[in-house]
């Protein structure tokens, strides 16, 4: 079945450091890929997405490229801020089965940015 | 535009009780999904509804049920609550395969 594996956390960086959070997936067919962010005590916010191979999703300085050959969707940001501290989830949306399209999530990576 | 709304925000129940959680999707979205997020883990799919019909169900017992109303809002019901049902319950509405999440209902079962 479909699955997502994320880089184990927690990750702690200093402000303005470069960020990479690794995400690899296993899926049949051609899934869409997503990064969601969860701030303390809140629900999930869509950060970015890519729907086909070689697509690059970007938002708020974050980027991720859909790499079919390595089944990866790594999240990157060139210069992190304290406000980026949150839990980041990689997810895939697989084939529509009986009309349902569910998201399969990784376990999440907690990111803390120190000033 | 209003996002996905959920009620209540927090809930405390005791084992064996029943709970109903509510969700209103983004205007124009016809599909609603429910997820359970246990502390420290990623969300797990429970149900998806589209046009009032169940389109998919995750690996959850029959104690979990849901329905969708003509205005596309949805309810999640859980019967005979267990301690292990304590979690954040997230609702998401969908548009063109992208799911947008609400703030969640945090359920504590004592």
Q: What is the pLDDT of residues B53-104, one digit of tens each?
A: 998 899 999 999 999 999 999 999 999 999 999 999 999 998 877 899 999 9
Q: What are phi and psi of A16, to 5 degrees?
A: 75, 5
The CA angle B28-A35-B59, to the nearest 5 degrees, is 75
Q: Are the CB atoms for A103 and A94 separated by under 8 Å?
A: no
- B2-46 tens-digit pLDDT: 899 999 999 999 999 999 999 999 998 999 999 999 998 999 999
Give the distance from residue A55's alpha carbon to the nearest chain B alpha carbon, in angstroms.
Answer: 15
Is residue B86 within 8 Å of B64, Cβ to Cβ? no
CB contact under 8 A, B48 and A32: no
d(CA B105, CA A79): 33
Contact B101 A93 (CB under 8 A): no
Burial bucket for residue B18 (CB in 10 Å: 0-12, 13-18, 19+): exposed
Q: State residue A97's pLDDT score.
A: 56
Can you say how many angstroms the Cα of residue A78 is from the centroid of all Cα atoms in its chain? Answer: 15
Task: Write the CB contacts of B9 (distance below 8 Å, at least 6 apart in sequence).
Answer: B103, B104, B105, B106
Looking at beta carbons, which residues of chain B come within 8 Å of A103? Answer: 33, 35, 43, 45, 92, 99
pLDDT (tens digit per residue) in B93-102: 988 778 999 9
The pLDDT tens digits for A65-114 are 999 999 999 999 999 999 999 999 999 987 665 556 789 999 999 999 99
Closest CA to A10 of A112, A115, A114: A112
Task: With CA atoms as reference, report the closest residue to A25 among A74, A84, A62, A82.
Answer: A74
Q: Do B56 and A99 touch (CB under 8 A)?
A: yes
Name the burial class of residue B98, with classes exposed (0-12), middle (13-18) and buried (19+) by CB atoms within 10 angstroms of its CB: middle
Flag whether pLDDT at B107 surpasses 60.
yes
């Amino acid at each position: 079945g479909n699955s997502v594996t994320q880089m184990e956390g927690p990750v702690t960086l200093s402000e303005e450091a470069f960020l990479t959070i690794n995400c690899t997936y296993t899926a049949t067919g051609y899934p869409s890929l997503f990064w969601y962010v969860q701030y303390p005590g809140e629900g999930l916010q869509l950060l970015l997405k890519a729907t086909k191979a070689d697509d690059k999703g970007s938002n708020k300085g974050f980027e991720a490229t859909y790499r079919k050959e390595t089944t990866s969707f790594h999240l990157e940001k060139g210069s992190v801020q304290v406000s980026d501290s949150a839990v980041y989830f990689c997810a895939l949306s697989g084939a529509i089965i009986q009309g349902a399209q569910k998201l399969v999530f990784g376990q999440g990576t907690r990111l803390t940015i120190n000033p | 535009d209003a996002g996905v709304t959920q009620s209540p925000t927090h809930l405390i129940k005791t084992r064996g009780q029943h709970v109903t959680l509510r969700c209103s999707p983004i205007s124009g979205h016809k599909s609603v999904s429910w997820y359970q997020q246990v502390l420290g883990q990623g969300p797990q799919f429970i149900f998806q509804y589209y046009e009032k019909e169940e389109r998919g169900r995750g690996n959850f017992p029959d104690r979990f049920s849901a329905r969708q109303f003509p205005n596309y809002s949805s309810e999640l019901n859980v019967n005979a609550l267990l301690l292990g049902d304590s979690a954040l319950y997230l609702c998401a509405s969908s548009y063109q395969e992208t799911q947008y999440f609400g703030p969640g209902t945090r359920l504590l079962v004592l």
